[in-house]
Amino acid sequence: MHSATISLELDEKTVILVVTLTWLTKKSTLKILRRTVKMQASPMKSVQKMTELLGAGFTDTFRHLYPDAIEEYSWWSYMGKARERNTGWRIDYFITSKRLDDKIQSEDSSTNLWL
């Protein structure tokens, strides 16, 4: 997915990628970093892949609109009252070509839904 997406951008195709990723993209993506580092085989590799993707001409729409947002998640475990304690992960991403930055108006991962 990573190289194919970058290839489309290099061919000047407009890309809108809507995806659920369990990538650790930065510390603010999840609340409990230490436990996650133990769970992921290579946490820094996922940070590197997302950094490369964003550096290749893509925008994380949520970070574009809310660069300083913290503790904004889109997934919580069903165990340990994670939702109530807001201990979660941000796993839902809207990644777009940078050429669309001026068209990004809002991004809502619907954190208020209780399914």
Q: Which residues of 13-35 are buried (b: 16+ CB within 10 A; e: fewer)?
A: eebebeeebebbbeeebbbeeee
Q: How far apart are CA 102 and CA 6, in angstroms?
A: 20
Query: What tokens were used for 9?
Result: 């951008």
Average pLDDT per block of 10 residues along the chain, 115 residues long: 70 81 59 53 68 88 90 84 84 89 82 55
Its pTM stands at: 0.73
What's the CA gap between 30 and 25, in Å, rounded? 9
Coil, helix or strand for 91? coil
